[in-house]
Amino acid sequence: MTSETHFEQSKRRTFFKSGIAFISGVISLAMAVPLIGAAIAPAFKKGQKKWVDLGLVELLKGARHKKINYTFQAKDGWVQATRERSVYVTDEGGGRFVVFSRVCTHLGCLVRWDEKKRHYHCPCHGGIFDETGNVIAGPPPRPLERPSVKVENGILYVREV
């Protein structure tokens, strides 16, 4: 084999190697975009916000840290699911209500109202929130969530996502 043909052969093989890398790259990219797109899509899906009926204001008059469980319909993938939620409602007078989500801002356990100690207590890691939902002890990084509320036609609504 002459050095020239050896050189040409080497050039051809370099082209083949680049070609294999190029084709592998094209197919991988053409696959990665739709596959990863499909897999991570839920992270970009915005939940539909809606007002959920919590009950008649009349029945909630004078409520102090009253636990209310409620359900509502929401789409869960291909299923129309019944979601269950739990909140604490406090009547602040003058038609104003404060609603605290029961979900601990630490790692998502449900907090409980301790009537004797007058604070919310998380059973998982000992997070404690005061009456206004602020953290007074334990690991939670933020106060309890306060979903938006409104009163319409004598009914208290909470904003659900």
Partner 1 sequence: MRRRIAAFFESRLPLSDVVNHLKKPLPKHINWLFSLGSMAAFLLILQAVTGAFLALYYSPSPDHAYNSVKYISHEVPFGVFVRGLHHWGSSALVIVVFLHLLRVVLYGSYKAPRELTWMVGVILFLVVLGFGFTGYLLPWDQKAYWATVVGVEIAGTVPLIGDFIAKILRGGAEVGAVTLTRFYTLHTIWLPWLVFVLVGLHLFFVRYYGSAGLPQNRPEEMQGGKPFYPDQLFEDAVAILVLFILLAAAAIFIPVPLEELANPTDASYDPRPEWYFLFLFQLLRYFEGPLEVIGTFVIPTAAIVLLLLLPFLDKRERVPLRKRPVALAVTSLSVLAIVTLTILGGRSPKLETPSEPSIKQSESPSNDANQSEDATPEEDADDTPVFDFN
Name residue, tokens 């009547």.
91
Report the residue count for the chain: 161
Smallest separation, CB 38 to partner 1 (Å): 5
Footprint of partner 1 on 43-62 (CB under 8 A): 48, 50-55, 59
Q: What type of residue sits at position 66?
A: K
User: How many chain residues bind partner 1 (CB under 8 A)?
Assistant: 39
Q: What are the two backbone dihedrals, phi and then psi, of residue 3, each rounded to the nearest 5 degrees?
A: -65, -30
Q: Positive or negative CA dihedral for 80, 70, 159, 136?
A: negative
Q: How far apart are alpha carbons 100 and 87 in whole angstroms? A: 6
- Contact flag: residue 110 with partner 1 (CB under 8 A): no
Smallest separation, CB 142 to partner 1 (Å): 26
Q: How far apart are alpha carbons 144 and 151 in whole angstroms? A: 21
Nearer to partner 1, 78 or 153 (CB): 78
Q: Pattern 73-92, binding to partner 1, x per CB under 8 A?
A: x-x-xxxx------------
Which residues make up the interface to partner 1 (CB under 8 A)? Answer: 13, 16-17, 19-20, 23-24, 26-27, 30-31, 33-35, 37-39, 41, 48, 50-55, 59, 66-73, 75, 77-80
